[in-house]
Structure 1
Amino acid sequence: MNAISPKQTLELTVTERIEEPGNIIRLRLASPGGEPLPPFTAGAHLDIHLQDGGLDLWRQYSLCSDPATNTAYEIGVLKDPKSRGGSEAVHRLATPGARFRIEGPRNHFPLEESATRTVLFGGGIGITPMLAMAQRLHALGRDFTLHYCTRSAGITAFRSMIAASPWADRVVFHHDDEDEAQRLQLPRDLPQPDAGTHLYVCGPQGFMDWVISSAEAMGHAASHVHREYFSADVDTTGESFEVEARLSGITVTVGPEDTIAKALARAGVKIEVKCEEGVCGTCVTDVLEGTPDHRDQFLTDSEKEEGSMICACCSRACTSRLVLDI
């Protein structure tokens, strides 16, 4: 059998649905014909198209399976009542035999495999990319620790998967409802800064901000503190401004409650948007003139300072006009 090209859109079938604690499902996805899947690297995610009646969304889910395996992908999905419909649709639609249109795998959260020491921090469903990283680090024989934080042991997903792994002794569980010594304590659990040490964090925004700010305050270089946001609280409102799509010859006004992507779409200039929260990077567009008001969690601090790119789904302008290279 020939492997599916990693550049093409995939149609994958749910071959297994595993109910995990904490309102999380683990899905195994494979090619309907059994062809090998495109390879992926630890930290990668899939873009999944969700269609159901009036629902038409793209959502991103991290791969938690072993990057060395190409027969199936595994993802974990939390049913989040505060979501905008994506996670509930996955829980409703992803029954064995169901098919989904998928793009990827893509990786905006790559693992630095040459690090001499790696410390992973997963909060809640943010554990999913860390599971793939742990499997890869174990295969490489690297020194690593995985801190897994949840509200309580009873709603901690993937425990059986971790217990059966050969790297289970590298995982430290932290639960909010247990004694203080067992909870995550960053002064104790963060390693000392070192040129060969890399940190990875994924989970709720407050958890991530806490870990990142604590690590950087301790002296860890920002370039060694890697992060991936699954969602973000983003304010897309502000003063009106103009956007020129130079290649398209179109200029629009982005109103106080509007976004760049929506204003341009009404004028016939389509920017692909998937997450709508500035976390996935799909809508990143080059800026030719003007100063962006960055509202996203995708671009790095240095990229934001450079001001040559913008996430058009949520960010705005500090100047009265932006010129985009589209």
Structure 2
Amino acid sequence: METIPVIVDALSAQGHRNLAVRLITTDGDTLPAFDAGAHIDVHLGNGLIRQYSIASAPHERDHYLLCVKREANSRGGSAYVHERLRVGETLKVSRPRNLFSLRNGSRHLLVAGGIGITPLLSMAETLERAGAPFELHYYVRERVDTAFKARWAAGFTHGAIHIHSSAEGDSPRNGLPAALHGHGESCHLYLCGPAGFMQHVAQAALELGWPSASIHQEAFGASNVQAMTEGGGFQVELASTGRVFDVPPERTIASVLLEGGVSVPLSCEMGICGACLTPVREGAIDHRDTVQSEAEKCAPVQQIALCCSRARSSRIVIDL
């Protein structure tokens, strides 16, 4: 996968345990274009590859702005960013990919939980530039956790910003945005945050009559990593060569293929980035990724996330 060398131009604290990272090119050129909701793979100095949403406005091509939360149970990514990353350090990043894009609509409701604010800030900037009305609700545990305070203080001409603090009794469990009740045709709801948070808001929206096609979500963590290898064994056939691989219960498709010398475009290995999505020609899929929508998982032509999903049938034929 093509990578782009970038330099860490600035680091800044954005609320408790959040660190903003500003990336620029090594030659002063513009960065590849992206749409709001996009993310990039960041190749960190410790050999890890992590996916981070771009928070900056898409029309500002001189930099990418990321924001990384210091996770208590870090698998190495956030710990590296917070403890070892330095201004001036050179990194490699992928070209932006977008599985969480804005849709055409008359109104947009953006609802973020914690660090899930990053792609929604980019969406807010895009809608503001387009003169499109929007409402953004940002849920944090305490006010001190709020990222991008200066941007919220500056305000938006076309959007209303609401910051909710659970410590002050304003949690999503105690009450959800009133705008959920006033949806209409061509309104869209965008959710990003912890899985439980998104599930709670999405369920409330469905009960209020929102069509599922108007509810868009992006997860930034796998809901159950251990579940990726639960289930029986099956076979995977490569459509291009006819080679057949046995995938035992304790292995992922990706790991078996890599061991067999087959190139697999891996990145997150958690079912959240979409890098390894591969079309399936034959067989039934046990989808375990959080990238695809329910409609995509039921489409006539489906894709399987090789890093986490499995087969319901004894054999599947994949387009590799």
TM-score, length of structure 1 as denominator length: 0.91
Deviation, 1:47, is 1.2
Q: Which runs of 5+ in 1 are unaligned?
A: 1-6
1:36 corresponds to 2:30: yes
Provide, for residues 237-279 of structure 1, a one-character-per-residue CA deviation record: whole Å limited to 9, x for no partner.
2111111123143212111111000011111112111111111
* Aligned with 2:163 (options 173, 193, 198): 173
Residues 44-89 of structure 1, C-alpha deviations (whole Å, 9 max, x = no match): 111111242xxx3321111111222111110101111223222212
The 3 A distance-change label for structure 1 pair 33 and 47 is same
| 1:289–1:212 CA distance, 2 compared to 1 (3 A) | same
- 227-236 or 155-164: which moved more? 155-164
Residues 295 and 196 (structure 1), Cα distance of their counterparts in 2 relative to 1, 3 Å cut: same
Instruction: Provide the aligned C-alpha RMSD in A.
Output: 2.0
Q: Is the 8 A contact 1:283 1:312 kept in 2?
A: yes
TM-aligned CA deviation for residue 91 of structure 1: 2.2
SS in 2 for 1:200: strand
CA separation in 2, counterparts of 1:135 and 1:115?
16
Matches of 2:71 and 2:91 in 1, distance apart?
Answer: 20
- Measured in 2, the distance between the counterparts of 1:250 and 1:218 equals 49
> Which region of structure 1 is more displaced relative to structure 2, 83-92 or 60-69?
83-92
What code does the residue aligned with 2:294 have? Answer: D
Q: Does 1:98 align with 2:89?
A: yes
2:48 matched residue in structure 1? 57
Secondary structure at the aligned position of 2:298 is classed as: helix
Match of 2:126 in 1: 136
Question: Quick check: 2:164–2:171 contact (8 Å CA) kept in 1?
Answer: no
> Which of 137, 154, 158 is equivalent to 2:144?
154
Alignment partner of 1:253 is 2:246: yes
How far 1:205 moved relative to its partner? 0.5
Structure 2: runs of 5+ lacking an equivalent: none
Paired residue type of 2:197: F
Q: What is the DSSP-based 3-state SS (H/G/I as helix, E as strand, rest coil) of the residue aligned with 1:279?
A: coil
Residues 195/32 of structure 1: CA separation in 2 closer, same or farther (3 Å cut): same
Letter in 1 for 2:297: K
The aligned residue for residue 232 of structure 2 is 239
Q: Aligned to 2:287, which of 270, 294, 308?
A: 294
Counterpart CA distance in 2 for 1:95 and 1:31 is: 16
Match of 1:3 in 2: none
Do the aligned residues in 1 keep the contact of 2:165 with 2:171 (CA within 8 Å)? no
Structure 1 residues 166 and 195 mapped into 2: Cα distance closer, same or farther (>3 Å)?
A: closer
Q: C-alpha distance in 2, partners of 1:74/1:98?
A: 15
User: Which residue of 303, 317, 321 maps to 2:315?
Assistant: 321
What letter corresponds to residue 278 of structure 2 in structure 1? T
Structure 1 residue aligned with 2:261: 268
Q: What TM-score results when the alignment is normalised by the length of structure 2?
A: 0.93
Contact 2:8–2:22 under 8 Å retained in 1: yes
C-alpha change, 1:142 and 1:191, in structure 2 (3 Å) is farther
**1:78 and 2:72 aligned:** no
Deviations 1:208-244 (A, max 9, x none): 1111121122111112111111112231121111111
Structure 1 residue 164: deviation in Å? 2.7
- Quote how far apart the aligned CAs of 1:42 are: 1.1
Distance 2:113 2:276 in 1: 26
The equivalent of 1:221 in structure 2 is: 211
Deviation at 1:192, TM superposition (A): 2.6
**Which amino acid in structure 2 is aligned with residue 316 of structure 1?**
R
Q: Contact 1:57/1:274 (CA < 8 Å) preserved in 2? A: no
Instruction: Indicate the larger mover: 40-49 or 123-132.
Output: 40-49
